[in-house]
Amino acid sequence: MTQFCYNRGCQKNFTSVNDPSVDDTACQYHPGLPYFHDAYKIWSCCQKKSHDFNTFLSLPGCTRGPHQPNKPKEPVAPQSNEQPQVTTSKPVPRQEMPKPQTPDVQRPPIDAPLIPMKLTVGASLRTALDKLSNTAKTNTNEIEQINDEIKPGTPCKHAACGARYTTVEEEQATPCRFHPGVPIFHEGMKFWSCCQKKTTDFESFTAQPGCSEGEHLWQSEKPESTDEEDPETLKKSCRYDFHQQGSSVVLSIYAKMPRPDQTQVELNAGRLKVDARFGTDTRTKRFCNEWELFGLVDVDRSTVELLQTKIEINLKKAEALSWPRLDRPLQLS
């Protein structure tokens, strides 16, 4: 005779061959109760969890024992005009769901002071800086000269243009189609910040035609020295991205030759500020930005490392929370 097993996590049909009196390990089930926390569905007995409900139901049981052919009885509330029945059997203790842990770290106010982070200089960057310093000493008597002449065959400096200089007349006849933004690589997608055409294939990304039209740029523009720098320009001067590694969030700011003596990273439990300069003494690039972080971090366990091609900031999470983004949405403040 086929019967239905009412154990949580099993709920299969079994025959008399698998009768509980014959086989005490035929059933694989969850003795605990399910509970839901932070979009997770979790078994309280083994802490197996999943975001997807169907995946959660298919998680194998953590305990073996006999099948349960009898459906558990649900308690019936006594009627108001009747006396409650007195039973001699011991009541089944109610299994309480574990309470979610609350983080010990509280989000500081928006104007809370920031703590300067210790900068670790990688071996590759240290070697490059030493080489740059030695080269600068040997060329102290050389004066940089700017040549306004454009040689034929010089490629256009605009991204995705690909044109090469021939004559002034031909240059004026062929407009420049280029991407004014910067390339962004995030979670396997590659796209330009100016037009947001996303693709996973690198060849397709590099072959995307420009989204703007203008004049060709045959010579690299020399940055003009100004007393005040536009904050929005400083944010766009370098590409940055983040990814998660278990209990850490890693922020990478991409630019060559970060200068340790001109870089400052400040942090508190809920806010991060970066002010950094990259490049040589004659040609530098600056990046300056602040983030109200999505989650809380442990300042003492967070680290900053300066490498030859980027700055890597490892933020240790102070709470078990997945970050869908780096900054905190305004509606949560």
**Average pLDDT score over the chain:** 79
Q: Give the separation between CA 234 and CA 194, rounded to whole angstroms.
A: 17
**Model pLDDT, residue 311:** 94
Distances (CA, A) of 184 to 246, 291, 304, 315: 23, 18, 22, 21
**Model pLDDT, residue 278:** 92
**Model pLDDT, residue 144:** 44
Q: Is the pLDDT of residue 139 over 60?
A: no
Q: Is the pLDDT of residue 289 over 80?
A: yes
Phi-psi group of 47: left, alpha or beta (phi > 0 → left; psi -120 to 50 → alpha; rest → beta): left
Tell me the pLDDT tens digit for each residue of 253-264. Answer: 999 999 999 999
How confident is the model over 127-148, as a mean pLDDT? 63
**Model pLDDT, residue 273:** 95
Q: Is the pLDDT of residue 78 over 60?
A: no
In DSSP terms, 14 is beta-bridged to 3
Phi/psi at 310 (5° precision): -170, 170
Could you tell me the pLDDT band of residue 100, with boundaries at 50, 70 and 90? very low
> Of 303, 293, 297, which is closest to residue 324 (Cα–Cα)?
293
Read off the pTM.
0.44
User: Where do the domains of the chain lie, and which CATH numbers do they carry?
Assistant: 2-65 (4.10.1130.20), 115-132+227-317 (2.60.40.790), 157-214 (4.10.1130.20)
Q: Is the pLDDT of residue 173 over 90?
A: no
Could you tell me the pLDDT band of residue 146, with boundaries at 50, 70 and 90? very low
**Model pLDDT, residue 58:** 81
How confident is the model over 304-315, as a mean pLDDT? 94
**Model pLDDT, residue 32:** 84
**Model pLDDT, residue 253:** 94
**Model pLDDT, residue 280:** 78
**Model pLDDT, residue 236:** 56
Alpha helix (H) ranges present in 174-219?
202-206
Tell me the pLDDT tens digit for each residue of 181-221. Answer: 888 888 778 888 888 888 888 878 888 888 998 888 888 76
- Going 169 to 219 to 229 to 117, the CA torsion angle's sign is positive
Tell me the pLDDT tens digit for each residue of 210-248. Answer: 899 888 888 876 554 444 556 555 555 788 999 998 899
